[in-house]
Structure 1
């Protein structure tokens, strides 16, 4: 009959598990290209909203990459999207977005426009291996569409998260504005020095407080109406 020392077995299992974790971590570091900023990616879509002759807000759709989505999908498990867990996760994600002023800046003729403190609606969805956050971002005070061009920028100031529109078709107008308004999407082309600096930042680094790195990589959506 064989006898096993339980303490010895537990110690050996602990050692093997830590070896496996160390190897996995090493493989991840060596194989991952994301050792520099950004580390997370969000594809955006925006639907401009209006009330009569005024701009009232934006319906935002943010699709997170697989790695960013993984923890949320793990927490949600197999629960349907109308389950309480999805509502709880949506509230947590939205709270983070609100804490960063929607990650957005809005200007008309160079003057800032304010958003409401709360979205009028929001929801979190599963899309395969990704998660999509959809919410309506209302203006605190509707802006007259014929009062000059409006510019919207959405970005993470630290550039830890890359937030971008795949193309100009990701910005849409309601039917009521299609005859009188047009949108443009401007994607910046930072110089080689700035790109090199962003690449030099590892996951634990962040740019200085006075250096708004994300803004320098941020796209701009311009709305002009006749």
Structure 2
């Protein structure tokens, strides 16, 4: 009888083009993105790809809220209202407002932790963060520009509840802006691998 155990499975085939993509990937600043944006049929498989992340206990401690043009503009108005009421720095607030007012498609990756005696909150937060990065990479691989932002609104109870309808235990792991790249992103310094890597042989 043929051994069908996972250990007997054929090794994964090499995908050098995928590794090259990962070695050269670069998030796109949201301010450099413009229409057109992916429609629902185009975005759905990208969300499916984003959801294929490590998820200890299969809790799915995350979900998506897709913010189309009208929702982005509504949230820009809410940002201005809350920011002014709290006395936030005017220049910084103006940038926050513009970031949503100019957006045509943003996916809010919601951290929705589940009660678990085995899976701590920090593991669930890391899984939600993995969803954000996977969504950015899926968009880039599909030819779209994408960038992951957080900021004060991500964990602001009033903004999350009023703007996104989140429950008290939920927050936003990331706002992923998606669109068409209007100009190449500037390169940024990359880590010195020797400085951040330790090899242990025993």
Greater percentage in strand: 1
Higher helix proportion, which one? 2
TM class, shorter-length: under 0.3
Structure with higher Rg: it is 1
Instruction: Compare relative contact order (CA 8 Å, sep 6+) and give the higher one, 1 or 2.
Output: 2
Question: What's the TM-score, normalizing by structure 1?
Answer: 0.22
Normalised by the size of structure 2, how large is the TM-score? 0.23
